[in-house]
Amino acid sequence: MPIKLCTFLCYNGDCLIAIWMHARFNYKCETLDPDNPDGPRICVEIPVHLYERLYKYAPVRYENLRAVKHVLKNPERIFAGLRKLHEGGWCYTGVPEMWYIKPQVVVPFPDHLVFAVYVNPRKVVFEFGAERVDSDDPFSPIDWDKRYGAPIWKSTS
């Protein structure tokens, strides 16, 4: 949740009042640069409005932000060509070790799914979730070739 900061208003050394503020920050996560996967890592942001809304209304999805972080840090595939109505964007996919299925219930991530994280051209996460695996590639979502442009990066490990 937001960090509380305290600011004191002072006049000639005498503190008059303390004001409590909520500091709201986008969460930053390093990942491969989709424009230069072999170059330095970039920061992708999870917007504060997303994780605050999930915390309040969708606690399981909030907990699965851990899977988002895992996939961004350890992607297996990066696809380009998202959002036909909006230019740009990428889909990072991977397989986290664990994920939440109910509040306080963590299980191993299933073999028949891959976790997808969708990032817009401003390098901000706008959606994420588990998707069925393509029969030809255990790290690609089903029908990826109909949904996205070409894969722009594949893990070699």
pTM: 0.83
- Note the pLDDT of residue 83: 62
Domain count of the fold of the chain: 1
Flag whether 15 is in a domain: no
41 lies in a domain? yes
> 65-90 pLDDT, tens per residue?
999 999 999 999 999 988 665 568 99
In a domain, 12, yes or no: no
- Predicted confidence band of residue 14 (pLDDT cuts 50, 70, 90): very low
The pLDDT of residue 84 is 63
Q: What angle do CA 46, 47, 53 make, to 5 degrees?
A: 110
Asked if residue 157 has pLDDT above 80, the reply is no
Domain range for 76 is 26-154
Determine, yes or no, domain membership for 54. Answer: yes
Tell whether 127 is covered by a domain: yes
| pLDDT score recorded for residue 3 | 46
The reply to whether 80 falls in a domain is yes
77 occurs within a structural domain: yes
In a domain, 4, yes or no: no
